[in-house]
Amino acid sequence: MLKMKDECEKCHAKTALTDIAFICSFECTFCEACAQKMACICPNCNGELVRRPSRVKSPIAVAAAQVSKKLFGGK
Ligand SMILES: [Zn+2]
Ligand SMILES: [Zn+2]
C-alpha cells in the first residue's frame, strides 16, 4: 500500500489524504502549488511528480470490502 504522507516536504502545507497532492515514485510528497512551481519535477530525486490518487476510505473499510467481496461472490 502506498504510504500517504500528510504534509508537503517543501512548505509543510497539509496534504490530507483527500487533498490534491503530488508524489514521485519514491513517495516524496508535495502540495499542488509547490509541484507546479517545480514544474512537476521532484527536487529530491529528479523524478516526475504525478497527482496522488486520493483516498476517500480508510484502509480498514477497503480491506473489509475486499474480504466481503471474496466471501460473497463477485470475481
Ligand atoms: Zn508545498
Ligand atoms: Zn522524489
Tell me how far the alpha carbon of residue 27 lies from the centroid of ligand 2, in angstroms. 6
Nearest to 43 by CA among 16, 13, 8, 4: 8
Q: Looking at residue 48, what is its pLDDT?
A: 97
- pTM comes to 0.73
Domains in the chain with CATH codes: 1-75 (3.30.40)
Tell me how far the alpha carbon of residue 50 lies from the centroid of ligand 2, in angstroms. 11
Cβ atoms of 35 and 20 closer than 8 Å: no
Vertex 13, ends 10 and 16: CA angle to 5°? 120
Ligand with minimal distance to 36 CA = 1
Greatest CA separation for the chain = 48
| Beta strands, E only, 1-75 | 21-23, 29-31, 50-51
- Tell me the average confidence (pLDDT) per consecutive run of 10 residues in the chain, 75 residues long: 82 90 94 97 97 83 91 76
Q: Looking at residue 64, what is its pLDDT?
A: 92
Tell me how far the alpha carbon of residue 74 lies from the centroid of ligand 1, in angstroms. 41
Ligand with minimal distance to 47 CA = 2
Q: Looking at residue 74, what is its pLDDT?
A: 62
